[in-house]
Amino acid sequence: TSIQVYLNSNETYMKPNVKIYASRYPMLEIDTPLKLLICNIYEVPLTFFMITGYVCCDLMFLQCVNVIYLQLE
């Protein structure tokens, strides 16, 4: 199984506690060409749809980046 993702933003931001707090879903590991990201699944409303996405955190540098779920193969 591979997880295809869209990057919501091409910049990371410092927010290390995203990976710790308030996720009712298990964490995922997404392997990228650059680094291994630890991801919390979340759901956000977008117009009339519930979008499942990820908040991915680089544990070494304590950075997080928003990613939107695209496809599960």
Q: Is the pTM of this model over 0.85?
A: no
Question: Rounded distance, CA 24 to CA 58, Å?
Answer: 20
- Residue boundaries of the structural domains of the chain: 3-72
How do residues 21-63 score in pLDDT, each as one tens digit?
223 344 455 454 444 455 555 444 444 444 444 555 555 555 5
5 vs 57, more confident: 57
Nearest to 69 by CA among 1, 17, 22, 7: 7
Return d(Cα 22, Cα 32) in angstroms, integer: 24
